[in-house]
Amino acid sequence: MKWLAFLLAALNLAVWFVPAWIEPSRYVGVSSGTLPRVSSLKVVSDTMESPSREEGCLRITLGMFDARDDAENVAAGLKHRVGIVEVEKELPPLHWVLIPPQPPEAARAQFRELYLQGVESYIVSRGEYRNAISLGLFESLEAAQSVMAEKKQANLNVVLAKFPRNRLGYALVFEVESMAESEWVQAVEAKTGYEFDFVESNACEGVARPEKNP
């Protein structure tokens, strides 16, 4: 009977004290996974700041100048650090009056005939209209159509085509805050006396910021 009483007492103690010993361990595991340290929060904050700085910077390109010397002279009069780049700008195509392409010998023979008649022309040497005879390039469509009508009256087979063209020049490049783009363009125009016909803006590659105003 003494042994039976001892076993019952031991079981009674186990029922009261074993759960109290197990529960803290279980809750400690949960809390360690949900409460980040202060140092980990600081790292997240730093990584979130860099994209906002990069997004706030714009690379502005202003042009165009026909000669690099002109661009350099204007850049020298600005207090802000300015770069100079070569720019190719697509322009509206010209209206091209020409005699359609033909075999090389036929094109040369017709060209000589036109030359003797005093008609200004030349043989196209390359491209889609190679061996065609050019009779003129015009910005105005009306002018091109007028020449076409005149050549047709002279019994020439003429057509109208598009002549693509680009303008090569130089431009100023500098970096500014994104919210100050229009103010910077106006300030540079006021400082230089130029009204730029080419204005382009892109996100900065880095996080460089201007130090001075123009």
CATH at 66: 3.30.70
Question: Would 73 be classed as within a structural domain?
Answer: yes
Between 112 and 174, the more confident residue is 112
Report residue 37's pLDDT band, with 50, 70 and 90 as the boundaries.
very low
One domain, residues 128 and 140: yes
- The pLDDT tens digits for 81-128 are 888 999 888 889 999 999 999 999 999 999 999 999 999 999 999 999
Decide: residue 11, CB within 10 A, 0-12 exposed, 13-18 middle, 19+ buried: exposed
CB neighbours of residue 114 within 10 Å:
18
Residue range 66-83: mean pLDDT, rounded:
86
On whether both 77 and 173 belong to a single domain, the answer is yes
Least confident of 48-52, 185-189, 193-197, 202-206: 48-52
pLDDT, greater one: 145 or 33: 145
What is the value of pTM for the model shown? 0.50
Encoding tokens for residue 126? 């390359």
**What is the chain's mean pLDDT, rounded?**
75
What residues contact 111, with CB distance under 8 A and at least 6 apart?
A: 121, 122, 123, 133
Give the pLDDT mean for 179-203.
Answer: 81
Same domain, 150 and 178: no
Quick check: is 61 in a domain? yes
Whether residue 22 is contained in a domain is answered as no
- Has residue 24 got a pLDDT over 50? no
Same domain? For 129 and 155 the reply is yes
Q: Mean pLDDT, to the nearest integer, of 60-66?
A: 86
Residue 214 lies in a domain: no
With bands split at pLDDT 50, 70 and 90, how would you rate the model's confidence at 133? very high
pLDDT at 130 over 60: yes
Residue 190's identity, in one-letter code, is A
Range in 53-62, 68-77, 136-145, 151-160 the model is least confident about: 53-62
Q: What's the Cα-to-Cα distance from 7 to each of 1, 13, 14, rounded to whole Å?
A: 10, 10, 11
Give the range of the structural domain holding residue 183, as residue numbers without chain letter. 57-90+167-203
> Is there a domain that residue 208 lies in?
no
Q: How many domains does the chain have?
A: 2
Statement to judge: residues 141 and 191 lie in one domain: no
Q: Is residue 103 part of a domain?
A: yes
Closest listed residue to residue 129, CA positions, set 96, 100, 108: 100
* 10 inside domain: no
Report in angstroms the alpha-carbon separations of 144 from 87, 113, 156, 162. Answer: 29, 22, 15, 11
Largest CA distance in the chain: 143
Are 66 and 98 part of one and the same domain?
no
Indicate whether 39 belongs to any domain.
no
